[in-house]
Amino acid sequence: ISDRHAVDLILEEARRRPGEITLVTLGPLTNLALAVMREPALPRLLKGYTLMGGAFGVSGNTTPTTEWNIHCDPHAAKIVFRAWSAAREADPTIPLPVALGLDVTEQAVILPNDVVRLARRAGSTPDDSLALARGEDPMHATRSVASNPVVRYIADALRFYMEFHAKYDGFYGAHIHDPLAVAAALDRSLVTTEAVYVDVETRGEITAGMTVADRRHLTGKAPNVDIAVSADVAEFLYRLVERVGGLAADHPNVSR
């Protein structure tokens, strides 16, 4: 958390440490679009860029064609993708952004038993975590009483999403889109990607915000994004449990 404006922070840090920073965005791309408009060389200043956003070969989760982060500001997403296109025309060695869309992030589902494993890794007692793990009605779960405050926070935060998916999608679990994107930024081997040209629809009556991936290279335009097409979800969940559970174990008295 910084008291600086996000655009200023991105540009100042990228200029101060060129080639060292991997940028990760987990929301709408408004601030990044403003940053590349102010500094078109930003893609060259970064070590890499990973984003959670888009739906390249699957339906959207906000409209039938759009994912939430892109839907919120499709014009910004268009600016960002085109900025990388322009930068790579000048310097093809600039790494492509890595985009984790719903194609892979909706494969990353955390279930109550995963939260139980995380609680046990943290040494939390009781490792109740979520009511469903105890065979109770998940829609009448109470707040976690796990001894570790980090585990309590995670279980209570996830419950909202698990109840949402139980109501609307027929399963009691949660898509953990953003953690998968962060994990892929830390270790690219967790995802398999395909280099394609991506543009964003901004004028469609029912498709505004759609991320259009030219997977057949029909436009003849050079790739500007590496889109994730598969993910090693089992390995990702294992690392999540080990690392977040380990962090919780090391900080048993962190306040909420």
- List C-alpha distances in Å: 139 to 108, 118, 136, 144: 22, 21, 9, 14
Catalytic site positions: 177
**Is the previous residue joined to 64 through a cis bond, with omega within 30 degrees of 0?**
no
List of residues 6+ apart from 7 with CB closer than 8 A:
31, 34, 35, 38
DSSP 64: T
Residue 115: HSE in the Cβ half-sphere, 13 Å Cα cutoff = 31
CA 159/CA 141 separation, integer angstroms: 8
22-25 β-sheet, strand order = 22-25, 48-52, 98-100, 225-231, 191-200, 211-214
- Number of neighbours of residue 56 by Cβ within 10 angstroms: 23
Distance CA 130, CA 114 (A): 10
Euclidean distance between CA atoms 203 and 252, whole angstroms: 51
For the CA atoms of 144, 149, 150, 152, the dihedral, rounded to the nearest 10 degrees, stands at 0
